[in-house]
Amino acid sequence: MKSSLLLVSFLLIIGFQTYSQTREIIDLKDWKFYHGENNEADRVNFDDTSWEKVTVPHDWAIKGPFDKEIDKQVVRIEQNNETVATEKTGRTGALPFIGVGWYRTMLPIDETNSGKQMILAFDGAMSNAEVFVNGVKVGNRPYGYSYFYFDVSDALKAGEENVIAVRLENHAFSSRWYPGAGIYRKVRLIVKDEVSFKHWGHYITTPFIDQKLAKINIKSQVQGDNVAIKTFIKDAKGNIVAENSVSQRFGDEIEQSVSIINPEIWDIDSPYLYTATLELHQDGVLKDTEDIDFGVRHINYSREKGFELNGEVVKFKGVCLHHDLGPLGIAINKAALKRQLTLLKDLGVNAIRSSHNMPSIEQLELCDEMGFLFLAESFDEWKKPKVKNGYNLYFDEWAEKDIVDLVHATRNHPSIVMWSAGNEVPDQHGSAGVKRAKWIQDIFHREDPTRPVTVGMDQVKSVMANGFGAILDIPGLNYRLPLYEEAYELFPQGFILGSETASTVSSRGVYKFPVEKGPNKVYDDLQSSSYDLEYCSWSNIPDDDFVWQDDKPWVLGEFVWTGFDYLGEPTPYDDYWPSRSSYFGILDLAGIPKDRYYLYRSRWNTEDETLHILPHWNWKGREGEKTPVFVYTNHNSAELFVNGKSQGIQKKDSTSNLNRYRLMWMDVVYEPGEIRAVALDDSGNAVAEKTIKTAGKPHQIILDADRGILDANGDDLSFVTATIVDKDGIPVPDAMDRLDFEVTGKGSFRAVCNGDATSLEMFHLPTMKVFNGKLVVIVQSTQEAGEIKLKVKGKGLKSSELKLSSRK
């Protein structure tokens, strides 16, 4: 990367946007939906009374049912080092996402809007979208992850009801994971004057920041003659701290500089957001206004220090996230996203990689507000295919447009510190791929010269030989730890990024004996051991990555595959049924932490204490057998007791990667009762302890909500964890009881998930078996404030009731 790019200081701006009466934003939430081809669907007078009423964002496939025949792929996955093709039944989640879906909504336009400009904006539609207004096609967009919009001013009729129809079509063999289906992100109609700011028209950077002064550079694209911009900068309390007026124009752009005295800096631990109010005036008349939340921050990448945020060296402690929200599918929900990020914040995560897709605006807004760094990814494929009907079909025609729209829609978010142009693209081989990589990177640089570009590369030998890795701003390596040193010596940048790491697999609460480290282990129950020693043929255990992150300053950090389990890609059970979701997550599909959560937390969360014991202590039939016990803690040593008898003290050391990060008692003999771990400080003093007891028979249900008060907006969610306990309140770790759910009052049952990758129970039905003692019930608010009651019961169990509330 050129030094001029590396040394840029800048302010990246935006969070959520609000608007004055100069423009109207209409959220198009209420639609009618039909699954199947219908050639009449775009006609204005078509009778859609029998169509299903849905709320957008919407995923038509998430309700299932699961079916092994859906998108069954006979394929050799090169990225997984497979040598022969095998039948993959759950690769894309085994959910019915394939086919055509139609959406229609009626939109009255007031006569007062005659002559106004009207923009129909989509944050994402899966996929091959064709958009019709009053029976006339106004445009299309094939890529399901793209943001896109159309000027429909001429198509909409003021003073009348208008019909908007969207046709979507998902093809078989088009994805490597569950892509979902439907209009899964927001749709809005933006009504504004012809004299106004252009859509995504602002670009704000900071060429200078210190403790006393921040210089804000704002470039705004405008339409209309004789216009001027007034800008007001407000602090978090709404006080105006700076203002400016400018009318000088270059083409369709007006540029201005505004100074903030003694600026508050946006950082991971203090994500301070200002608000810029931008007013567009024509001949003294206010024509348009946009309010934009923004943050002031400086980033730098250098050979000497790696990545710096506001002058401080920061290692990426990141996770990769697919776009699905588990049992909610791909339909965007801000409460679900916030829950994910809250759990990751507690884990100690400081960075997110959107894998392998363009992120939602809501996710970026939350990362701005909560203090996460963001690696925004664009594609999983370029010109060469991974799957028959993937993005390779659209690359030539759409790649530049998709990149431009990605950058323009999101470049003002302070959380984004890097772009990713692709992931494990087969184009890594050959000179054509090198040229393609440069072409794509140049587009990113043209549209946003302030951020570097990376690619997640898995063909490391190839990219070292052909120059592919050398031309990138930041060489991202997916796995391939044995090649880190060689890549560092050969690549000119002076650093590398672990753009994808670990791919360790585990099932929450499942433990396999004997306890052995190794790749591609499979078992008859289609589960993976939660001793966190099993991984894929191309990957490794977390501890191996920790060594490189801790010992090599030229490694910028890592993005673990993955933060949460996701639908599809059930490695190592790709060719087993039933298995329909991943095992890679640090948290399971329901968002319940696995043991591995605490291994990462012990290293990443430096503020809070971590002390975690595994496995559970219910092993009827293993009496007298060796049952290894691991402890994950931020302390360097601990003593273990079984029924009060010491098993000795273990200390972390550098004799092996495992011993450096885990405390392990390999010869513990199981006997019912309790195990207790006592963490010790460096002087040998006890500083914390944790106890696990053998549980009795399942007796009752304990409910614990992540949030007790919801917003009465019809979208807000509470995630309630149901745990089976015995008569003494001890969790029963091997319980598999069926539970039933009922929600009354000002809320409704939304979905349920137990985190079992082999479960074929449908998420939207109010019944499910717990998996290893737990599951999560999702309760949704209505638009009325008041009390919400969740009642959970199970055969032979004492039922439980939880009261929530919603408010305006």
When the pLDDT of each residue in the chain is averaged and rounded to a whole number, the result is: 95
In a domain, 278, yes or no: yes
pLDDT digits (tens, 9 = 90+) for 408-426: 999 999 999 999 999 999 9
In a domain, 468, yes or no: yes
Domain boundary among 139, 164, 192: 192
Indicate whether 225 and 185 sit together in one domain.
Answer: no
- Parallel, antiparallel, or unpaired for β 129-133 and 136-141? antiparallel
Report the amino acid identity of residue 291.
D
Task: Please state, in angstroms and as integers, the Cα–Cα distance from residue 289 to each residue in 5, 17, 148, 368, 717, following that order.
Answer: 32, 11, 21, 22, 32
Indicate whether 454 and 561 sit together in one domain.
Answer: yes
Indicate whether 743 and 769 sit together in one domain.
Answer: yes
Tally of CB atoms within 10 A around 383: 15
Nearest CA to 418 out of 452, 445, 449 is that of: 452
How many structural domains is the chain composed of? 5
* Percent residues over pLDDT 90 in the chain: 93
Indicate whether 209 and 249 sit together in one domain.
Answer: yes
CA pair distance 93, 635, nearest whole angstrom: 40
pLDDT digits (tens, 9 = 90+) for 72-115: 998 888 777 777 888 999 999 999 999 999 999 999 999 989 99
CA pair distance 508, 616, nearest whole angstrom: 11
CA dihedral 207, 213, 214, 220 (to 10 degrees): -100
Residue 100 burial (10 A CB sphere; 0-12, 13-18, 19+): middle
Q: Which 3 state secondary structure label does DSSP give 266? A: strand
In a domain, 140, yes or no: yes
Indicate whether 331 and 459 sit together in one domain.
Answer: yes
Residues 6 or more apart whose CB falls under 8 angstroms from that of 267 comprise: 297, 309, 310, 371
Indicate whether 773 and 787 sit together in one domain.
Answer: yes
pTM of the predicted protein model: 0.95
Report the amino acid identity of residue 142.
P
Indicate whether 363 and 449 sit together in one domain.
Answer: yes
Domain boundary among 265, 295, 325: 295
pLDDT digits (tens, 9 = 90+) for 247-296: 999 999 999 999 999 999 999 999 999 988 999 999 999 999 998 888 99
Indicate whether 35 and 154 sit together in one domain.
Answer: yes
Indicate whether 563 and 464 sit together in one domain.
Answer: yes
pLDDT of residue 227: 97
CATH code for position 180: 2.60.120.260
DSSP notation for 530-551: TTS-EE-TT---HHHHHHHHHH
In a domain, 515, yes or no: no
In a domain, 529, yes or no: no
DSSP H helices in 83-206? none
* Percent residues over pLDDT 70 in the chain: 97
CATH code for position 291: 2.60.40.10
Residues taking part in catalysis: 424, 500
Q: Three-state SS string across 40-78, please? A: CCCCCCCCCCCCEEEECCCCCCCCCCCCCCCCCEEECCH
Indicate whether 397 and 270 sit together in one domain.
Answer: no
pLDDT of residue 42: 65
In a domain, 359, yes or no: yes
What's the rounded mean pLDDT across residues 175-200?
Answer: 97
pLDDT digits (tens, 9 = 90+) for 510-534: 999 999 999 999 999 999 999 999 9
CA pair distance 700, 677, nearest whole angstrom: 27
Kind and range of the H or E run holding 599: helix 595-604
Domain boundary among 142, 162, 192: 192
Q: Where are the beta strands (DSSP E) in 296-436?
A: 299-302, 306-309, 312-313, 316-321, 351-354, 373-377, 416-423
In a domain, 708, yes or no: yes
Kind and range of the H or E run holding 637: strand 637-642
Enclosing domain of residue 655: 611-693
Instruction: Give the model's confidence band at 13: pLDDT under 50 very low, under 70 low, under 90 confident, else very high.
Output: very low
CA dihedral 404, 430, 496, 322 (to 10 degrees): 50
662: pLDDT strictly greater than 50: yes
pLDDT digits (tens, 9 = 90+) for 35-80: 988 767 667 778 899 999 999 999 999 999 999 999 999 888 877 7
CATH code for position 349: 3.20.20.80
Indicate whether 633 and 754 sit together in one domain.
Answer: no
pLDDT digits (tens, 9 = 90+) for 122-159: 999 999 999 999 999 999 999 999 999 999 999 999 99
Indicate whether 474 and 497 sit together in one domain.
Answer: yes
